[in-house]
Amino acid sequence: MKVTTAEFLCSIDQQREYPSIKKPEIAFAGRSNVGKSSMINTLLGRKNLVRTSKTPGLTRKINFFVVNNLLVFVDLPGYGFAAVPLEIRKQWGPMVETYLKGREELAGVVVIVDSRREPTDFDKTLFDFLQSNGILFVVALSKIDKITNSLFVSQIRGLRSILSPEIPAVGFSATTGTGKNELWKAIKYLIECQKATRGSLRQQPENP
Ligand SMILES: Nc1nc2c(ncn2[C@@H]2O[C@H](COP(=O)(O)OP(=O)(O)O)[C@@H](O)[C@H]2O)c(=O)[nH]1
Ligand SMILES: [Mg+2]
């Protein structure tokens, strides 16, 4: 994907309404420090687009970025380090749950997991939450420049054993750019799936 324009659109919290732009949205989720901001900047070929919008106090907000006037990247708040598995609402906030369940433009979610670690219980809770709400997602293993190829292979194998076959799992490094094309491909797949679903919904009779 050749990114020609990438702009910060807005930040929302509980009070504010979602932006009125109607483009497919790709949300990015992962625990704090997993490499989410770096990943978005690398995908967009920008050094500091995400950080510049992230002034202190914005971390609990949802940030929207318009890409090529064609799609929207949504930076969700990072989730915490607590190991106890809790439902999405309690641990991560009703705002995120409401967004994920209710936002019509949401095409899918990139869930970021640190490649050096096993997915946490909360990562798995998020996989289940997305799956049971019919939200398509991709798992991106971050910081793969820090691990050996054999560990990478075994981490992907571990993910494959817990994910449904239609969920892509890719490796990514913001430092080297490895996996950038593959992740873009997975993002396009999420958008294509959303279009296909919309198409079939539209064909249904309005008043059966
Ligand atoms: N080696 C390496 N470090 C990374 C990579 N991505 C992020 N980091 C580092 O990890 C830390 C957290 O990154 P950041 O993007 O701010 O994570 P966020 O909190 O999830 O948004 C920073 O010190 C980054 O420089 C990567 O692909 N490779
Ligand atoms: Mg960040």
- Please tell me the predicted confidence (pLDDT) of residue 82: 56
**Burial bucket for residue 18 (CB in 10 Å: 0-12, 13-18, 19+):** middle
Whether residue 201 is predicted with pLDDT greater than 60 in this model: the reply is no
The CA distance from 145 to 149, in Å, is 9
Q: Is 29 in the pocket of ligand 1 (CB under 6 A)?
A: no
- Residue 141 has φ and ψ, to the nearest 5°, of -85, 120
Ligand 1 atom closest to the CA of 146, numbered from 1: 1
DSSP labels for 112-124? EEETTSPPPHHHH
Q: 6-12+21-201 — its CATH code?
A: 3.40.50.300
**Is residue 37 lining ligand 1, measured as CB closer than 6 Å?**
yes
Any ligand 1 atom below 6 A from CB of 38: yes
Q: How far is the CA of 87 from the centre of ligand 2 (A)?
A: 22
Token pair in block for residue 41: 């900047």
For ligand 1, whether the C-beta of 174 sits within 6 Å is: yes
Residue 110: its pLDDT value, please? Answer: 98
Residue 49: what are its φ and ψ, rounded to 5°? -55, -45
- At residue 50, the pLDDT reads 82
Q: Is 204 a residue whose pLDDT tops 70?
A: no
Average pLDDT over residues 127-141: 96
d(CA 36, CA 45): 14
For residue 204, report the distance from its CA to the centre of ligand 1, in Å: 45
Sign of CA dihedral 73, 8, 50, 48: positive
Ligand 1 atom with least separation from CA of 176:
27
pLDDT of residue 86: 65
Mean pLDDT of 47-76: 79
Q: Where are the alpha helices (DSSP H) in the chain?
A: 36-44, 49-53, 88-92, 94-102, 121-132, 149-162, 180-202
Q: Locate 202 and state its tokens.
A: 């539209």
How far, in Å, is the centroid of ligand 1 from the Cα of 71? Answer: 24
At 72-107, the pLDDT tens digits run 999 998 887 555 556 777 778 888 999 999 999 999
pLDDT value at residue 56? 43
54: pLDDT strictly greater than 90: no
Ligand 1 nearest-atom number relative to CA 50: 21
Taking the centre of ligand 2 as the mean of its atom positions, its distance from the CA of residue 75, in whole angstroms, is 8
* CB of residue 133 inside a 6 A radius of ligand 1: no
Q: Is residue 19 scored above 80 in pLDDT?
A: yes
Query: d(Cα 170, Cα 140) in Å, to the nearest integer?
Result: 5
Q: Which atom of ligand 1 is nearest to the CA of 172?
A: 27
Q: Give the residue among 95, 168, 103 at the shortest CA–CA distance from 133.
A: 103
Question: How large a percentage of the chain has pLDDT more than 90?
Answer: 70
Does 200 have pLDDT greater than 70?
no
DSSP classification of residue 144: G
- Judged against a pLDDT cut of 90, whether residue 142 lies above it is answered with yes
Query: Is residue 186 pLDDT above 50, yes or no?
Result: yes
On the question of pLDDT at 53 being above 80, the answer is no
**77 with 96: CB under 8 angstroms?**
yes
